[in-house]
Structure 1
Amino acid sequence: MPKRNTVQRRHGILERLSLHGQVQVDELAKAFETSEVTIRKDLAELEKSGVLLRRYGGAVPLPAELIQTSSDTSDSKEKVSERKKAIARAAADCIRDHNRIIIDFGTTTAALIPRLQSKRGLVVMTNSLTVANAIRELENEPTLLLSGGTWDTHSESFQGQIAEQVIRSYDFDQLFIGCDGIDLERGTTTFNELLSLSRVMADSAREVVVMAEADKIGRRIPNLELPWSAISVLITDDRMTAEQQQHIEQQGVRVVIAPSGNGE
């Protein structure tokens, strides 16, 4: 197949996704005669546009219940951003000076970084270059630890046995971690099949804080990331229902609801 420009290629990816129900990076690279790096960038941009969801090694269609959410005009990118900021403010309130924390990769957890500016003597471990670079910009200069390991292009984070060994060699006060979905019965869920590092992080921290927007509650994604027994706190926004809050609190998890108003 001859090479196509970006718009044509991405349109072709969506056509294949509609036809087959899933697509794989290596197969798309061969079909469109381009690199796997280019295909991953295509899938990342298409995911940002709300037309598919990436999974390990490829992509799947956006679930029907998420299509409605993404098309809801009340959920603009600006409002989503404000919810992440509100969750980050609440998460920062949980951190004391001189705490040793882990911050996992993800846009919600990354929103926490500017809130660390007022904290003194922090030690921060991360498996994310994005988080690491943001930490380096802080004027209060937290001690930065990077997990190392094998770079995973899907999650844009370090994973694997080396990362696990590094994290196991430390003792942390808190882990701040996001998720793709929240199963009310089981715990947090993810599309990423690389689960072991998340569990090692949770085992290495005295308190596990999940940061997630309320629209992720009820997404029953097959891969269980952390069971409720491993989670200490869930911080979410004020779209959570009273029934959902009660159900999660019955699992022994403390729920913190961050108000959506501007708290700057």
Structure 2
Amino acid sequence: MTKRNTQQRRHTIVRQLNEQGEVTVEQLAGLFQTSEVTIRKDLAALEKNGLLLRRYGGAVPIPSEMVVESESQKVSNQKLAIARCAAARIRDHNRLIIDSGSTTRALIPLLGKRHGLVVMTNALSVANALRDLENEPTLLMTGGTWDPHSEAFQGQVAEQVLRSYDFDQLFIGADGIDLERGTTTFNELVGLSRVMAEVAREVIVMVESEKLGRKIPNLELPWAQVDTLITDDGIDEASRAQIERSGVTVICAQSNKQLSGE
């Protein structure tokens, strides 16, 4: 199978697993006439989606006692809708920064059809997700001091690394949105976010509408450093107009319907 058939291959892997009770990397590589590296990426992606458990050399089904309810479908659709709008702005060979956060991570599976990407991140979770892509981008890590609150690297070393490059786009989330000032965060370490914005030609904030108006003391990015805000269709017109008056383009992703995967 070709790379265009990744989803079909993964569906078949799940079916084989359900029928046989266990699959091996070697067996699947032979079945699909592809490399074991590709199969391991398939298994990693399927495990992340809660469809199997990896074991040495293969995978087994998830035991029934480990199956739990997923998060609200509404929230899931909001994040996916925002991620789809963000992914539509990315072109082959773009140089990206992807910050830590659950909304920015939702963007990563949608990058699999892009070629020649270069991605810098300060988050191990983002780096691991990028490594699961079949068209794996060139991955750059900031390094620096590990911050357990944000689960990402921060500090002067990370800032110096970022300033050694220039990027087309920054994709960054937020804990809250101050309609008058900009994006806000619970984390007091905001220096790296501002450096990320400085070295990117376009700064794209990805945030759910429920975070608009949250009173959080730490200003992360003032509106002067933000080019585009992508949110869901829960934003009210007054809030949208106020943000746009600050010179920010506001994109409202349609999240009020079931969204199918790419």
Q: Is this a same-fold pair by TM over 0.5?
A: yes
How many Å separate the matches in 2 of 1:262 and 1:160? 40
In the alignment, what sits opposite 1:229? 224
Alignment map for 1:70-89 (pairs within 5 Å): 77-89=72-84
Q: Secondary structure at the match of 1:155?
A: coil
- Equivalent residues in 2 for 1:34-49 (5 A)? none
Report Cα offsets for 1:51-100 as digits up to 9, x if no partner. Answer: xxxxxxxxxxxxxxxxxxxxxxxxx6221111001100000001111100
Matched, 1:241 2:225: no
Structure 2 contact 77–259 (Cα < 8 Å) conserved? no
SS of 1:88's equivalent in the other structure is helix
User: CA offset at residue 137 of structure 1?
Assistant: 0.8
Counting only pairs closer than 5 Å after superposition, residues 51-90 of structure 1 correspond to structure 2 as 77-90=72-85
Q: Identical aligned pairs, as a percentage?
A: 67
Q: Aligned AA for 1:120?
A: H
SS of aligned partner of 1:98 = coil
Matched letter for residue 143 of structure 2: G
8 A Cα contact 1:189 1:226, kept in partner: yes
Partner of 2:106: 111
Gaps of 5+ in 1: 1-75
Partner residue, 2:154: 159
Q: TM-score, normalised by structure 1?
A: 0.71
Tell whether the 8 Å contact from 1:97 to 1:120 is kept in structure 2 after alignment.
yes
Whole-angstrom distance in 2 between the partners of 1:96 and 1:253: 21
Structure 1 residue corresponding to 2:202, chosen from 193, 203, 207: 207
In 2, the alpha carbon distance for the partners of 1:224 and 1:123 equals 28
* 1:158-177 aligned within 5 A: 158-177=153-172
Map Cα deviations across residues 210-232 of structure 1 (whole Å, 9 max, x no partner).
00000100012110000000000
SS in 2 for 1:239: coil
Which residue matches 2:190?
195
The structural deviation recorded for 1:263 is 3.1
- SS of the aligned residue for 2:170 comes to strand
Contact 2:178–2:215 (CA under 8 A) maintained in structure 1: yes
Unaligned residue ranges in structure 2 (runs of 5+)? 1-70
Aligned with residue 262 of structure 1, among 251, 258, 261: 258
SS, match of residue 240 in structure 1: coil
Is 1:134 equivalent to 2:134 in the alignment? no
CA contact (8 A) 1:124 1:142 kept: yes
Q: CA RMSD in A?
A: 0.8
Paired amino acid for 2:231: T
Q: Secondary structure at the match of 1:125?
A: strand
Q: 3-state SS of the aligned residue for 2:188?
A: coil
In structure 2, distance between residues paired with 1:82 and 1:179: 18
Total equivalences in the alignment? 189
Instruction: Give the TM-score, by structure 2 length.
Output: 0.71
Between the aligned partners of 2:197 and 2:240, the Cα distance in structure 1 is 22
Name the structure 1 match of 2:47.
Answer: none
Give a deviation string over 1:23-59, Cα, whole Å, max 9, x none: xxxxxxxxxxxxxxxxxxxxxxxxxxxxxxxxxxxxx
Given candidates 245, 252, 261, the residue that maps to 1:250 is 245
